[in-house]
Chain A
Amino acid sequence: SAVISQKPSRDICQRGTSLTIQCQVDSQVTMMFWYRQQPGQSLTLIATANQGSEATYESGFVIDKFPISRPNLTFSTLTVSNMSPEDSSIYLCSVDRGQGYGYTFGSGTRLTVV
């Protein structure tokens, strides 16, 4: 199954700044998924990143706030822009293992905005 390396594992950022989170997969995958997990909450999908095309954003999430890059089949980045304390969350990337075997997740990035 795919192994995902996600970094940074945590960061504390000043409001108004931006943070870029990286996910590297050890095998080629078509789609990568970015989730947000607010404190004490479940996971909510931010967007789906397809290599070679624009990411598809879920309702309530916009590209200007969460720009995503997907330069190749093994790598993706999510940027949290112009951060506010409300952006303090865990951010996770994920890939589909295929054939319904489930999804592999990165280890998550714990973001605190002060």
Chain B
Amino acid sequence: AQTVTQSQPEMSVQEAETVTLSCTYDTSENNYYLFWYKQPPSRQMILVIRQEAYKQQNATENRFSVNFQKAAKSFSLKISDSQLGDTAMYFCAFTPFQGAQKLVFGQGTRLTINP
């Protein structure tokens, strides 16, 4: 069974700082997808970034980037120049490569950006 672990229940940084959220996962699959989702107080789930396991290059979306270490089964999210609007719950998620399958979520990290 696949599992996703986020070891940081809460984090807090000052505006404009850089913050890294950790995520590890366990799977026997070789090809899969990893995602980071953001859930602000509005509770809408917003896709932040995605990574395909067969791509060695780390994904980047503007201020958001990942450090994907396949052998270590690690998938951390770095937020640069953090903004007040980044305050939210962040969930790491996994899904196998083939077909439309369910997402397996980590426990989440509550990130607070302080002014």
Contacts and interface: CB of A to CB of B under 8 A. Distances in A.
Contact of B100 (A43, A58, A96): A96
A31 B103 CA distance: 13
A75 interface: no
A78 B58 CA distance: 37
Interface in B35-83: 35, 42-45, 47, 50, 52
A42 B43 contact: no
A43 B47 CA distance: 14
Contacts of A33: 102-103
Interface in A78-114: 90, 92, 94, 96, 98, 100-105, 107-108, 110
Contacts, number: 53
A102 B91 contact: no
Contact of A102 (B35, B43, B108): B35
A102 B47 contact: yes
A98 B44 CA distance: 20
Interface string A25-48: 000001101000100011111001
Label chain A's interface by main secondary structure.
strand
Contact of B50 (A44, A90, A101, A104): A101
A31 B43 contact: no
Most buried by A among B35, B100, B107: B100
Contacts of B102: 33, 45, 48, 58
B99 to A, nearest CB: 9
Given A92-B45, A105-B45, A42 B106 contact: yes
Contact of B43 (A44, A45, A103, A108): A108
B105 A103 contact: no
A103 B103 contact: yes
Contacts of B47: 102-104
Contact of B52 (A45, A92, A100): A100
A74 B95 CA distance: 23
